[in-house]
Amino acid sequence: MIVDDHSAVRMGLKQLIEQIPNLEVIGEASTGEIAYDCYTKLMPDLVIIDLSMPGVGGVESIRKILSRKESPKIIVYTMHDEIIHVRKAMEAGASAYVLKSENVDDLILAIEKVMSSQRYLSEVVAQKLAIESVSEDILPIERLSAREYEVFCFLVKGMKVGEIAKLLAISSKTVATYQTQLKQKLHINSSVDLVIHAVKSGILSLEKQGNSL
């Protein structure tokens, strides 16, 4: 199954994947919500998913899909090369993280590795992780739990507690608790502090503040 909010990307991936022996695209989705519904109906063995989509983002979609008893292999296929995205996606359960900026052969290799129960990272991503592993500089945002991170991303998009609760299918009280926890961990006192953390971590760029994760 292919999950990406750009139809041209889905079309290109479908043409590529169906050239690989024993693989067939049986479903497509443009949002995380549609992806989950599609997955429960079709039960594909492999899901290729972007991180930036309207509504529920890629990380939460990965977590939700993998909460099922029979879960698929998941490859993240995205433009985001920031380490925070890589860590959160892999923590959510992704088996591979591939950059759209790399050669398409990188994705094919990732598919081969993942379907053989191996993990895979694009070379650029692997190098960044290696460099970070020997660095003592750990961003405070990396200490957030997966759910705190999701709530953080939605808050950065300007969403209200009630909206986040509805999207994540949890209570507003629970969202408020996560909000309090992440504010304490990040020492956030205002919306300005929120944006500063988002920009520093690469979650938000000043030029593209509308991106969802």
55 neighbors 32 (Cβ within 8 angstroms): yes
Q: pLDDT value at position 208? A: 43
Residue 76: strand pairing partners: 49, 97
Sheet containing strand 28-29, strands side by side: 28-29, 2-3, 46-49, 73-78, 96-99, 120-121
- The CATH architecture to which 2-133 belongs is 3-Layer(aba) Sandwich (3.40)
Residuewise pLDDT in 10s, the chain (213 residues): 999 999 999 999 999 998 998 999 999 999 988 999 999 999 999 999 999 888 778 888 998 899 888 889 999 999 988 888 898 899 889 999 999 999 999 999 999 999 999 999 999 999 888 776 655 566 677 778 878 888 888 888 888 899 988 888 889 999 999 888 888 888 888 777 887 777 776 666 533 443 444
- For residues 27 and 42, the answer to whether their CB atoms sit within 8 Å is yes
Q: What is the DSSP letter of 118?
A: -
> Rounded to whole angstroms, what are the CA distances from 42 to 22, 23, 26, 33, 205?
17, 14, 7, 14, 36
Write down the domain spans for the chain.
2-133, 140-201
Closest of 14, 61, 96, 48 to residue 212, by C-alpha: 61
Give the whole-angstrom CA distance, residue 46 versus residue 117: 11
From CA 186, how far away is CA 39, in angstroms rounded?
A: 35
CATH topology of domain 140-201: Arc Repressor Mutant, subunit A (1.10.10)
pLDDT given for residue 35 in this prediction: 93
